[in-house]
Amino acid sequence: MLRRLIVIVTAAILFSNSLTLAQSKKPKPPDEFPPSPLEITTGDPLLPRLPKDKQPLTLEERQKLEPALDALNQEAAAKLQAGDQVAAFEIWNRELRLRRFLGSLAEVQALSRVAAIAWNQNDSEEVKYITQRLQAIQKQAESQKPTAEIDLELWRSLGQAYQNVRSLKLAVEAYDQVLLVVRQQKNPTAVVEILKTIGELHLSWFDYRKAAPIYEELLSLATSQGERVNEVTYLQRLAEIYEQTNQPQQSLNVLNKLAEIYVNENNLTEIPQLKLAIASDYESLAKKDPNLLLEAFKNYQEAYTTAWQLGEYVRAGDALQKLIVLYRSQGQTDAALQASQILVQIQAQAANFYGMMQAYDQIGQLYLERKEFPQALTAFQKGLELAQQLKHEEAYFTGQIEKLSKANL
């Protein structure tokens, strides 16, 4: 009995010790945020010294390291081509860790190159690591030199790298640094170059309000220097911006300048579309000042007339349809009816049978408003003929005809 008790107690002690040992050896949870592979500080066979050595590489050491890193880049590209993405980015990360020993510019250019590849491969982790490293380099660059002495090539490269990781805000910050310096240097060519880059960045992210002052400055510079081609380009950009931001007055100012240039250059093919946009802006402004409706009518008419003279029947039809809608909104049924009858002819010239069908429907509706039922019936019958050819909206026109037929019984 005593012996059995000893065995039980011993077993209990052993179990207790085993449990304690198991608890002490319980595996640690993995790091929630693993360290960036670009920040690994272990040595590398390609380095002449340990990374802790702060002394810059000698010219001879650089000349040995550069081709070795180029070879790593080629090896990584071959791995990716073979379908081994994991191995490819492991090699690229090794290359990037070593590139920093060649200086910030060389490292940023390499980061930019790999960032573009990572983005195309949908490797969000790699993009994140590269972005973090770029920010660290930027912070270091900001602390080293006053703004007037910044390394323009480095900051341009930072801007491009941030573009490659699709970080608009950081890219603009980098280019703003460059812009500040080239302004101080009174370098108009460089100013225009950077402004264009910043403007295109804002437009690529549909940030029209931030793009507006950029293109306004570019327009001012182009106008002052007599650069007509660039002036037209920037006016077109501003027209798009003001349309997207619903600023009809600013849009009008820009569109009228464009129209003046096109007329002076006898480039009439652009006029119908411009006049349509100008008329639309006047319509918007007429909500506050009804007197401006006359300008809307005038410009729709000019758009129609010019398009007709140029044989652009589709554009002429668009302008006339806008004019008809405006007539109807003002209760000018007779004018809308006359314009709709002309619209049928224009759509016929354009061989737009669907447009003809819609025009006949519009004519029928207008005759209904005037309670001229026989004329409305004729219009709907012509519309039905086209609908049957197109095999579209036949039931609609048949229904309209039946209603009129019953009403006349």
> Which residue shows structure tokens 């006047």?
282
Predicted pLDDT of residue 148 = 47
C-alpha distances in Å from residue 120, one per residue of 85, 114, 263: 12, 10, 45
214/396 Cα distance (integer angstroms) = 51
40/242 Cα distance (integer angstroms) = 49
Amino acid identity, position 123: D
336/331 Cα distance (integer angstroms) = 9
Predicted pLDDT of residue 149 = 62
Displacement of CA 302 from its chain's centroid (Å): 33
- 150 burial class (0-12, 13-18, 19+ CB within 10 angstroms)? middle
User: For residue 253, is pLDDT > 60?
Assistant: yes
246/242 Cα distance (integer angstroms) = 6
- 146 burial class (0-12, 13-18, 19+ CB within 10 angstroms)? exposed
Mean pLDDT on 208-212 = 97
* Contact call for residues 274 and 296 (beta carbons, < 8 A): no
Task: Name residues whose C-beta falls within 8 Å of residue 83's C-beta, 6 or more positions apart in sequence.
Answer: none
Q: What is the pLDDT of residues 298-346, one digit of tens each?
A: 999 999 999 999 999 999 999 999 999 999 999 999 999 999 999 999 9
* Contact call for residues 316 and 346 (beta carbons, < 8 A): yes
3-state secondary structure of 340: helix
Mean pLDDT on 225-246 = 96
89/77 Cα distance (integer angstroms) = 9
Predicted pLDDT of residue 55 = 75
Mean pLDDT on 218-227 = 96
Mean pLDDT on 85-109 = 96
271/173 Cα distance (integer angstroms) = 39
Mean pLDDT, rounded, of the chain: 89
* Phi, psi dihedrals of residue 84, rounded to the nearest 5°: -100, 80
Mean pLDDT on 222-238 = 96
How far separated are the first and last CA of the chain, in Å rounded? 119
- 45 burial class (0-12, 13-18, 19+ CB within 10 angstroms)? exposed
C-alpha distances in Å from residue 130, one per residue of 39, 92, 115, 133, 137: 10, 11, 7, 5, 11
Predicted pLDDT of residue 20 = 43
Amino acid identity, position 137: I
User: For residue 291, is pLDDT > 60?
Assistant: yes
* Contact call for residues 256 and 279 (beta carbons, < 8 A): no
Amino acid identity, position 226: G
* Contact call for residues 177 and 190 (beta carbons, < 8 A): no
Predicted pLDDT of residue 10 = 40
- Helical spans, DSSP H, in 208-292: 208-224, 228-244, 248-264, 271-285
Q: What is the pLDDT of residues 347-397, one digit of tens each?
A: 999 999 999 999 999 999 999 999 999 999 999 999 999 999 999 999 999
380/399 Cα distance (integer angstroms) = 10
47 confidence band (pLDDT: 50, 70, 90): confident
Higher pLDDT, 42 or 287: 287
> Which is nearest to 96 in space by CA: 76, 78, 125, 80?
76
Cα Rg of the chain, angstroms: 36
Which H helix or E strand runs over 316? helix 313-329
- For residue 55 the two structure tokens come to 């002394």
> Which residue shows structure tokens 């805000």?
169
> Which is nearest to 293 in space by CA: 325, 253, 337?
325
Which of 143-147, 191-195, 271-275 shows the lowest per-residue confidence on average (mean pLDDT)? 143-147
Mean pLDDT on 95-100 = 95
Q: What is the pLDDT of residues 112-133, one digit of tens each?
A: 999 999 999 999 999 999 999 9
Amino acid identity, position 82: A
Mean pLDDT on 250-259 = 96
Q: Provide the 10 A C-beta neighbour count for residue 23.
A: 8
Q: Provide the 10 A C-beta neighbour count for residue 69.
A: 19
229/227 Cα distance (integer angstroms) = 6
> Which residue shows structure tokens 């802006």?
281
User: For residue 296, is pLDDT > 60?
Assistant: yes
User: For residue 57, is pLDDT > 60?
Assistant: yes
Tell me the Ramachandran region of residue 327: left when phi exceeds 0, alpha when psi lies from -120 to 50, beta otherwise.
Answer: alpha
Amino acid identity, position 135: Q
